[in-house]
C-alpha cells in the first residue's frame, strides 16, 4: 500500500470540500464523510459516511467495494447492499461491506492505477448512493 499516495488523493478531495480519512483497525480503510445521497426523495438522510477497504497492493490492485454502518437505511437500497461481504469494526462503528464493484463490470471504467484512486472513487460512491431503490 502506498500511504503517501492515498494521503495525496485524500488531500485532493479535501481541497474540493470533501472530507475523507485514512483509518486502520489492523487493516487500512478510507472513510468518506457526509457523502451525498438520493435519500431525500425517500425521506432518508441526504448524506452518509461510507467506508472503503484499501486493497493490499494498492495502487496496482483496484479499489473495490464500499460499506455502510450496519444500521444504515441505505443498505437494502444500494446496489450490492443486501449481499454482505462481511462486517468490520472501525472507529467504534460496525460497517457492513457491500458487493459493489464499479471497476469490475459495475459500470465504471477498467481500473487504471495511473488515473484512478480514492479521489476518483468518490464519484462512484455518489452515484452508488444516488441510485437507490
pLDDT at 58: 96
CA distance 6 to 57: 12
Of the candidates 45, 29, 20, 6, which has an alpha carbon nearest to the alpha carbon of residue 132? 45
Instruction: Select from 3.30.420, 1.10.150, 3.40.50, 3.10.110 the CATH code of 3-130.
Output: 3.10.110
Strands of the chain (E only): list them.
Answer: 20-24, 28-36, 47-53, 66-69, 84-90, 93-98
Q: Determine contact, residues 32/20, Cβ cutoff 8 Å.
A: yes
CB-based contact 35:129 (threshold 8 Å)? yes
pLDDT value at residue 82: 93
Q: How do residues 49-105 score in pLDDT, each as one tens digit?
A: 999 999 999 999 999 999 999 999 999 999 999 999 999 999 999 999 999 989 877
Contacts of 43 (CB under 8 A, 6+ apart): none
Phi, psi of 84 (to 5 degrees): -65, 135
Joined together, the cell numbers standing for residue 75 give 443498505
Say which residue, 20 or 105, is predicted with more confidence: 20
> Is pLDDT at 106 greater than 80 in this prediction?
no
Domain spans in the chain, listed from the N-terminal domain onward: 3-130
User: In the prediction, which pLDDT does 1 show?
Assistant: 61
What pLDDT digit, counting tens, does each position of 23-51 carry? 999 999 999 999 999 999 999 999 999 99
The mean pLDDT of 9-36, rounded to a whole number, is: 97
Task: State how far the alpha carbon of 114 is from the alpha carbons of 7, 58, 59, 118, in Å.
Answer: 16, 11, 8, 12
Confidence band of 133 (pLDDT split at 50, 70, 90): confident
Amino acid at each position: 500500500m502506498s500511504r503517501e499516495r492515498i494521503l495525496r488523493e485524500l488531500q485532493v478531495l479535501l481541497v474540493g470540500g470533501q472530507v475523507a480519512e485514512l483509518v486502520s483497525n489492523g487493516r487500512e480503510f478510507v472513510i468518506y464523510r457526509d457523502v451525498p445521497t438520493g435519500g431525500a426523495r425517500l425521506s432518508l438522510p441526504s448524506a452518509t459516511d461510507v467506508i472503503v477497504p484499501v486493497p493490499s497492493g494498492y495502487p496496482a490492485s483496484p479499489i473495490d467495494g464500499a460499506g455502510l454502518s450496519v444500521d444504515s437505511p441505505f443498505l437494502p437500497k444500494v446496489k450490492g447492499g443486501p449481499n454482505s461481504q462481511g462486517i468490520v469494526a472501525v472507529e467504534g462503528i460496525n460497517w457492513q461491506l457491500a458487493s459493489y464493484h464499479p471497476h469490475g463490470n459495475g459500470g465504471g471504467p477498467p481500473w487504471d492505477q495511473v488515473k484512478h484512486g480514492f479521489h476518483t472513487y468518490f464519484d462512484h460512491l455518489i452515484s452508488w448512493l444516488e441510485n437507490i431503490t
